[in-house]
Amino acid sequence: MKDIYEVIILGAGPAGLSAAIYAGRSRISTLLIEKAQDGGQIAITDVIENYPGQMPEGESGPTLIERMSKQVEKFGADRISDTVKEVHLTGSIKKIVCVNGTYKAKTVILATGASHKPIGCKGESEYQGRGISYCATCDADFFEDLDVYVVGGGNSAVQEALYLTKFARHVTIIHRRDKLRAVPTLQEKAFANDKINFFWDSVVEEVGGDEVVQWMKVRNKKTGGITTVKANEEDGIFGVFGFIGLVPTTRLFEGQVEMEDGYIITDEDMKTNIPGVFAVGDMRKKFLRQVVTAAADGAIAAMQVDKYLTEANNETYYG
């Protein structure tokens, strides 16, 4: 372990791993800190089909992340498993205080990601990746010509429902209120789409089935009545997509890094409002949250770290 690293990366999802690969390959002394398993959300994804260069016969989140992690090891980044307690990001030397030690660096890349708000029904965790999804862009084609259900009523839910109509036989939006919260233009598109139906004033109570989601209990909040939805016998499965919202993992950085709705604001070079501090991946305010964009964020941030360090060294040398 070094006394002062050139960069510390917080988080080993696709963005953090990508940053560690590029930083290590650029001979930047790097420390990668992750409290749990590598991969973040992608670690629980059973099938990936749209990542460029993946195994064409099929790829899972764990297999993709395993190769990324091996690349990090190959290019020499130091790694520790620890939980961050507090961060001190201002000044020329940044300090990361963890449960098992304190680490210092000239720059920091924040890559702590975000998590989907759970649907909140019984059986949800057991059927993630087996009928329950939180990403239409990732998983829509797995439900081609099948019935799918979208839980939520905001902009994201309606946008994803409209996207799913390109693949699914029918799309039903399940919303706990009697009207959508999405902007009027999205509502108009949803109401005009013949493939979209609605369960109003309703919440999902439970999902179940043999290995995959085959039935679901939906409770009407006003009447208390329970509707049991069953998969078509020929299909043997239907999809349940949760779009209640994301929760960025950024609380540790509040009061230091500029944010909007909990997401860290950066420019196109991944720079935050603090010199030497960069943010990448799902915790960053951005349009598309996918593995490929997370990896791109990480690569850009690592190269910006290299540029920042070079400029800082030149100023020291000539100053």
Residues catalogued as catalytic: 135, 138-139
Give 138-189 as a DSSP string.
HHGGGGTTSEEEEE--SHHHHHHHHHHTTT-SEEEEE-SSSS--S-HHHHHH
| Rounded-to-integer distance, Cα 303 and Cα 8, Å | 14
The type of residue at 33 is: I
| Rounded-to-integer distance, Cα 12 and Cα 19, Å | 9
Token couple for 117: 């708000």
Q: Apex CA 195: angle with CA 191 and CA 197, to 5°?
A: 60
| Rounded-to-integer distance, Cα 142 and Cα 237, Å | 11
DSSP 233: T
Token couple for 63: 């297999």
The type of residue at 84 is: V
| Rounded-to-integer distance, Cα 74 and Cα 21, Å | 8
Helix (H) or strand (E) holding 299: helix 291-318
| Rounded-to-integer distance, Cα 1 and Cα 9, Å | 14
In Å, what is the CA distance from 142 to each residue of 122, 139, 169?
A: 23, 6, 12
The type of residue at 199 is: F
Token couple for 112: 């702590």
In Å, what is the CA distance from 212 to each residue of 32, 47, 118, 132, 216?
A: 36, 14, 18, 9, 11
